[in-house]
Chains A and B, each alone.
Chain A
Amino acid sequence: MPLLEIENLTVQYHTLHGAVQAVRGVTLSIERGRALGLVGESGCGKTTLARALINVLARNAAITGGAVRFDGVDLLQLSGGALNDYRWRRIGLVPQAAMDSLDPVYRVGDQLVETMRLRGGLTPAQARERAARLFALVGLEPTRLRLYPHELSGGMKQRVVIAMALALQPKLVIADEPVTALDVIVQHQVLRTMRELQETLSLSLLLITHDISVVADLCDDVAVMYAGRIVETGSVREVFAAPQHPYTMGLRNAFPSLRASSARLVPIEGYPPDLASPPNGCAFAPRCPFAVQRCWGDDPVLMPTGGGRLAACHRAMEADVLRIQAPQAFARLEATGSQAVEGGAPGGGIP
């Protein structure tokens, strides 16, 4: 049984312009002791999904359906107190802009000790001893426990926040863009540390990022999210070597690589759909060079494609052929512009 199973989860935001479906039926599982990378563009719902898992959504957001099972327990059915218990003891969270989550007026060690005393019921002596061990674990000298946040560099603060997430020995750590505010070199070092900890402590890790390279570098599995849905999942090696969804195929040629020669990039024309009025068919159809009649009216569901992989595409079975055509096909769309794509939709908007 996977550690965390998300089943058909839906989250809605209530805004002035009506309901926005940020997460539209996500089904995803995280295996024990593995690192899953959740990638997607801003606004695709990845952060909302993470927040829904531990039920810390914004006030105007609500979970409107689905289930989140942790070790077989449905988290969405838990009361506030029991959920809090899960949140701290079994699921650790490294939030976005985590460096700012440290209180500037207390020593970082005291903040760590306080967390363990309040949430974990440890005695001060136990907590202090564990704090020192945690600091060593995340690669900080225990002498730094006595420092205030402003005396630490950004990377060190990030390590402190990771230590806090690990303080109560959770089984799952959710990290939401944990290193975006850091410099490239420090980013790399912090991510390495996270990966090493995940392996040595046999944690499960859910790493949320917009950077596909980070996932390639650090994770075992990957889930690609687009417009509130998971469009493709599988092991990192397989998904990157042989993507089965056209969106993932498109992303592969959409940004420059440091090592490869400067072959022309191929953008994915168009823009993600407005989730206030999600399309009837496949959300990617307007930007997809392979869209057929069926894609416009019939929204594909995430289906097994063999080898433990899943893809939400009507043409997933032809993926091997499409993958070869993809660079030219996306390039043709760039040349004709997004207008032509809309014109290419049979009958414009099919009911």
Chain B
Amino acid sequence: MSQLLEVTDLRKEYPLQSGMLSAVMGARRVVHAVNGVSFALEEGGSLGLAGESGCGKTTTAKLILRLLRPSGGSIRFAGRDVAGLEGLDLLAYRRQVQFVFQNPYEALNPRFTILRSLLEPLIIHDIGRSLTERVERVAMALDRVHLTPVETFFPKYPHQLSGGQLQRVVIARALLVDPLLLVADEPVSMLDVSIRAGVLNLMRDLSRERKLTTIYISHDLALIRYMCSVAAVMYLGTICEIGPTAEVIEHPRHPYTQALVSAVPDPDPAQPRRPVEIADTVPTPFQLPVGCPFADRCPQVMEVCRRVRPALLPEAAGVHVACHLYPAGTREAH
């Protein structure tokens, strides 16, 4: 199967803004925001990146979008290394990869009308021969996201629209350039509960219609279950478990995934819960433990966990897991 996106051992480090003390001590500390992430995404696939704030999921997205450059590892899109793209190649790449932002209230230029904001991608990529044709494309894009009658939205400024409407405009803008890959970072977390379903359905329908490859980033496992066929759970810059969404959520293998799944409240009060207790300490990403990043909080920690960092290895049912509880002997042969 052809892989549209291949991420291999991706790393991003930030030098820590050194205070006076560390300047004197000469210690150069770095934050490991993304620390060896690998995954592949086939054309038309949908991947969910789950994890808590600070786990590196948004940084991973920004690296894929080339808003940041990786410190190590590679991102290959349709066989080409993304990090090396410049000039026209980069422009072509930008047309193929689009982004839906977390905060729709900030994602549109406040001084642009909706029409002006939506013309921008057409101007940049020189799509459409005349202004008339471009406006026609914008009208179609607004129609696709169910903002009708489209003319009433043309002269509006972002502050005149609601969050749900703004997020639809952002989606329309992303789709105007006919991208192959769409990345969405917490696309509904800023929206009200009654509005969320509409936006999620819209994104699901549009990506199925246009056979888009999608990456959803969310702390909400339920959202990922609804939107994605593959789920990856991230912890402190690494993927600790990845596999078919239903399998990851129904039979979580990594102790962190187990804790995460059990912590999600269920809207059905009749459902019994079996909470997994884990310690409430998050090691900051600049003093990463030598062994497993989760060792300090893990209820099933073993001696080996503090010494050796577990690799992400195939387990069963298509799931890969990075945990010493699943020793290689019991794994399927690969």
A residues sitting closer than 8 Å to B (CB atoms) are 41-43, 153, 155-156, 183-189, 191-192, 210-214, 216-218, 236-237, 240-241, 247, 250-259, 262, 264-269, 271-272, 287, 334, 337, 339
* Cβ-closest chain A residue relative to B256: A185
Cα separation A186 to B282 with both chains bound (whole Å): 10
* Cβ 8 A contact of A258, one of B192, B197, B222, B282: B222
* Cβ 8 A contact of A259, one of B146, B164, B266, B275: B266
Chain A contacts for B146, CB-based, 8 A: 337
Known: A156-B280, A184-B52, A217-B269. A267 touches B260 (CB 8 A): no
Q: Is B127 an interface residue (CB 8 A)?
A: no
Known: A183-B282, A185-B278, A271-B195. 8 other contacts (CB 8 A): A155-B280, A184-B52, A184-B219, A251-B193, A254-B196, A256-B223, A265-B201, A269-B198
Per-position binary interface string of chain B over residues 168-211, scored 1 when its CB falls under 8 Å from any chain A CB and 0 otherwise: 00000000000000000000000011111111110000000000
Output the least CB separation between B184 and chain A (Å).
14
Q: Is B303 an interface residue (CB 8 A)?
A: no
Within 8 A of A (CB), among B75-102: none
The 6 A-B residue pairs with the shortest CB-CB distance, nearest first, are A267-B198, A267-B197, A256-B226, A188-B263, A213-B265, A265-B197
Beta-carbon contact of A214 and B259 below 8 Å? no
Q: Is B221 an interface residue (CB 8 A)?
A: yes
Task: Count residues of chain B with CB under 8 A from any CB of chain A.
Answer: 44
* Cβ 8 A contact of B281, one of A153, A216, A262, A264: A153
Chain B contacts for A269, CB-based, 8 A: 198
Known: A155-B280, A185-B278, A259-B271. A216 touches B195 (CB 8 A): no
Output the least CB separation between A247 and chain B (Å).
8
* Cβ 8 A contact of B201, one of A191, A250, A259, A264: A264
Within 8 A of A (CB), among B213-270: 219-223, 225-226, 249, 259-270
Cα separation A218 to B263 with both chains bound (whole Å): 13
Q: Is B17 an interface residue (CB 8 A)?
A: no
Chain B contacts for A241, CB-based, 8 A: 270
Known: A216-B265, A241-B270, A257-B222. A41 touches B197 (CB 8 A): no
Chain A contacts for B201, CB-based, 8 A: 264-265, 267, 334
Chain A contacts for B249, CB-based, 8 A: 258
Q: Is B53 an interface residue (CB 8 A)?
A: yes
Cα separation A143 to B19 with both chains bound (whole Å): 29
- What is the count of residue pairs linking A and B with beta-carbon distances less than 8 angstroms? 129
Q: Is B69 an interface residue (CB 8 A)?
A: no
Beta-carbon contact of A189 and B280 below 8 Å? yes
* Cβ-closest chain B residue relative to A236: B269
Beta-carbon contact of A256 and B193 below 8 Å? no
Cα separation A153 to B283 with both chains bound (whole Å): 10
Chain A contacts for B281, CB-based, 8 A: 153
Cα separation A258 to B280 with both chains bound (whole Å): 23
Beta-carbon contact of B193 and A185 below 8 Å? no
Chain B contacts for A192, CB-based, 8 A: 275
Chain B contacts for A252, CB-based, 8 A: 267
Interface centre among B219, B220, B259, B268 (most CB of A within 10 A): B268
Known: A183-B52, A267-B195. A258 touches B266 (CB 8 A): yes
* Cβ-closest chain A residue relative to B52: A183
Beta-carbon contact of A211 and B260 below 8 Å? no
Q: Is B162 an interface residue (CB 8 A)?
A: yes
Beta-carbon contact of B275 and A188 below 8 Å? yes
Beta-carbon contact of B266 and A217 below 8 Å? yes
Cα separation A42 to B53 with both chains bound (whole Å): 22
Q: Is B273 an interface residue (CB 8 A)?
A: yes
Cα separation A250 to B197 with both chains bound (whole Å): 11
Cα separation A272 to B192 with both chains bound (whole Å): 10
* Cβ 8 A contact of B225, one of A188, A253, A262, A337: A262
Beta-carbon contact of A211 and B265 below 8 Å? yes
Q: Is B71 an interface residue (CB 8 A)?
A: no
Interface centre among A41, A250, A259 (most CB of B within 10 A): A259
Cα separation A251 to B270 with both chains bound (whole Å): 17
Beta-carbon contact of B148 and A255 below 8 Å? no
Known: A153-B280, A213-B265. A42 touches B192 (CB 8 A): yes
Output the least CB separation between A179 and chain B (Å).
11
* Cβ 8 A contact of B221, one of A189, A236, A258, A272: A258
Cα separation A216 to B267 with both chains bound (whole Å): 6
Cα separation A153 to B260 with both chains bound (whole Å): 18
A-B contact pairs, 27 of them (CB 8 A): A41-B192, A41-B193, A189-B277, A189-B280, A210-B193, A211-B193, A211-B265, A213-B266, A216-B269, A217-B265, A236-B269, A237-B269, A251-B193, A252-B267, A255-B267, A256-B200, A256-B225, A258-B222, A258-B266, A259-B268, A264-B201, A265-B197, A265-B200, A267-B199, A268-B194, A268-B195, A334-B201
Cα separation A250 to B194 with both chains bound (whole Å): 8
Chain A contacts for B220, CB-based, 8 A: 256
Within 8 A of A (CB), among B19-78: 52-53
Chain A contacts for B280, CB-based, 8 A: 153, 155-156, 186, 189
